[in-house]
Amino acid sequence: MRYLLLDRVAEFVPDSRVTVIKNITRESDVMEHHFHGFPLWPGCLTLESMAQAGGYLVIRSEVDVRGRWTLAALASVSRATFKHPVFPGDQMKIEAELGEVTPNSAEVTAIATVERVVVAKAKFVLVHRRLDPETNGDAIDYLTKLFNSFERKGGILA
């Protein structure tokens, strides 16, 4: 994944909520052009970080609670607001909460903060699809490694 916008999972409660950390660094290639001489983290990437946190929440909940792998993708965004800019050196904390879940979709509400100041809020709908371990083994292996890297300490998943 080219733009993996999560660094660490700080807290996870299946079928409920997740808290993730995204460190904003000057080394990110978007900082060179957004904006030259005044680096600013793009709001669309804040939104994408929030959606990725929601995707993690949906996928990981399916694994932990129901023992099945799914893949989640962003379907819609509503009520997105950006309150404050985010700069290199900031540590963004994203809290995502699961709302209504159907067999094919899940609602997620997310709030991003920097030093306890809200920088963005949004509501998402994610579509999700079950992965067959026989035909999607590579995707499941990739997600397991990815989640282990977020969760550190050897990973939570086997």
What positions carry a catalytic annotation? 34
Long-range contacts of 67-73 (CB under 8 A, 24+ apart): 68/130, 68/131, 69/130, 69/131, 69/133, 69/136, 69/139, 69/140, 69/143, 70/128, 70/129, 70/130, 70/131, 71/128, 71/129, 71/131, 71/139, 72/106, 72/126, 72/127, 72/128, 73/126, 73/127, 73/128
Q: What is the DSSP letter of 64?
A: I
Alpha-carbon distance of 46 to 101, in angstroms, equals: 23
